[in-house]
Each structure stands twice: as structure tokens, then as C-alpha cells.
Homo-oligomer: A and B are copies of this chain.
């Protein structure tokens, strides 16, 4: 390496074409680059019939029974934030992936990658938070692993949790079951987790308290299925926000989706922070919300059940699945217009979970 500009002229560096030959931050953002990496690089390498379902959890046949299995790594920065920390997120994230498939979460594994110099007091705080979150969600951590890497080879702590759950008899929640006419229900306000992280990271002091919505959704899901067993699909809109969830379902299932934008709840604090940072709350991550696709016949029953649960008090119907414009999510705006929702190529919101 040389800082002499003349010397560098003599050497023709190969120019990498951004997005084609190197991992970019955008590959982890939940946008188009993420989808492309998974569809073009990861899936083809590993392809099998279970992985191809691409739900948030896999359903595995085991001696005539069926179990649900999922994994998630957590690399959020900062690791402590208003409303939660990386430990709570690591439990709730995996619990929620199981719950979205209609499975009752039972067991978690816990794998820690620690950076040399990480304070053991902080580790204890994270572990205590993991324990509390696991108790709250009704799961237990049954196996674990700990690795340490040198300073600068990781950032404080990365956590992986894998989870095992038992499918609830009689349910078959899957994106494949979403049908034209399904009501789209949302359990509450969007953007809270992402904006709590971003404003803390940017050092913004904002009026109105911003806090992550991280929460275990399995109890809410139980209430919904108790009210109406034939819910077609559920998703927790994490990375990429509500937009990524709707676009994924619409694109993969070749269905149209219409959303009444004014029906989507956004708190004043989140709206204010989004305006300040030039973000659209539809694209901001949530960690304690769910979207449900419910046959019209059950929509009111499910909505009523959601509103009775503390994590679904603000539940609303935000839209409908249609057979028109397949592959397109159309937002009906408050002023009577409409726009098609598209994922950003690569959202610059790294390490939000």
C-alpha cells in the first residue's frame, strides 16, 4: 500500500462492481439485495423441499410427528436501547418466528460470539434479560455455545438463537394459503423498534418517548387462533418493515394487496423521528407486531380477539388481498390517490436487529 498518487497510477486495480461480487450492507437490510442474495446465492446452493418453503420457520417430520424449527442471529447496535436489549430481542425474535407458523415455542439454543474486552457485567445484564424474556415467553434455553474473537473481529456481542416449537393441531399457517379476499390485520403501530434504535444511534433527542416494541407474540397468536382457527398466514414485519412483508407475500404468491395507508397506526413520536431522518415508517423494523391474513368470515372475530390482548390493543384492519394487480402492493393514500409499494434496492439501516 502506498499513499503516493503517482505510484498507484502504475497499478491497475480490478474494480469490483458494487452489488455483484461483494457483500454490501444492503444485503442485510431486508430490501431487494437481501432477497436477491437469498434467491440467487444461498437457496440454489442448499436447495431442498423444506428450505424452498421460505417461511420464517421450517416444519420437520420426525417419527410421525411434526416440529417447527427456526434460527436467527442478532447483531443490533447499540446492544442496550430504550425498550429492550439484544438479549430480549434474541429470545423474542425466535419465539415470534415460531409463533408466526402457528407453533407453540418450547426450546431455544443460545450461541454467543463475544469480542475480547466485552464487559462481563454487560454479558450478565444480557443473560439476565434473556432469562426474563424466556420466562415471559414460556420457553427454556436448553443448549448453548460460547466463542470469543479478538478485539475488532466482532462488535461486543452477537447472539444466535435457534428455536423448536410444536405446531398447534388444526392450524396450517403459511404464505401459500393467502387468498384473494383475505382481510389483512395489523396488531398495532409500526416503526417503533427501528426508530428507537436509529434515534439512539444518531444521538437524537426527540420529544415523545421512543421505545422498541420487542415482545413475544406467541400469547397473542394463541388468542387469535382460539378465536378463529383457519387464519391463513401470519408474519412479524421485522427487517424491511411492514412494506417488506407485504411485498414479499404479494410477489411470491402472485397476489395483489391493497392497503388503506391512513389505517396503518404510527405514533406521533415515530412519525416525527421518521420525518427528521427522511424515512417512511412502512419500511422501518418492528419486533413486537404481526400481520395476519384472515378469511373475511373470520376477520372480525380475530380482530376482536387481538384487541382483548395487551399486545393487540391497537389492532386494525389495514387492507385486503385482491386478485387484481398480482405481485403489486397498492397503498391508498389519505388524499384519495394510490401508489405501488416497492422495496428499496438496499436500505441503509444496518444492524437493526
Contacts and interface: CB of A to CB of B under 8 A. Distances in A.
Interface in A273-321: none
Give the oligomeric copy count: 2
16 contacts: A22-B119, A27-B148, A28-B149, A29-B148, A41-B127, A42-B127, A45-B130, A45-B131, A58-B143, A62-B106, A62-B164, A69-B142, A73-B113, A111-B160, A153-B155, A164-B164
A120 B36 CA distance: 12
Given A24-B148, A127-B46, A146-B42, A58 B107 contact: yes
Given A57-B143, A71-B144, A130-B46, A22 B149 contact: no
Interface residues of A, number: 79
B143 A51 contact: yes
Contacts of A75: 113, 147, 149, 153-154
Interface string A116-155: 1111110110011011001000001111111111101111
Contacts of A124: 41, 45
In this complex, the member of A41, A124, A160 whose beta carbon has the largest number of chain B beta carbons within 10 angstroms is A160
A147 B28 contact: yes
A121 B21 contact: yes
B34 A110 contact: no
A190 interface: no
A128 B45 contact: yes
Nearest to A155: B153
A164 B109 contact: no
Given A41-B124, A48-B140, A117 B22 contact: yes
A2 interface: no
Contacts of A48: 140-142
B118 A22 contact: yes
A121 to B, nearest CB: 7
A60 interface: yes
A114 B148 contact: no
A300 to B, nearest CB: 34
A229 interface: no
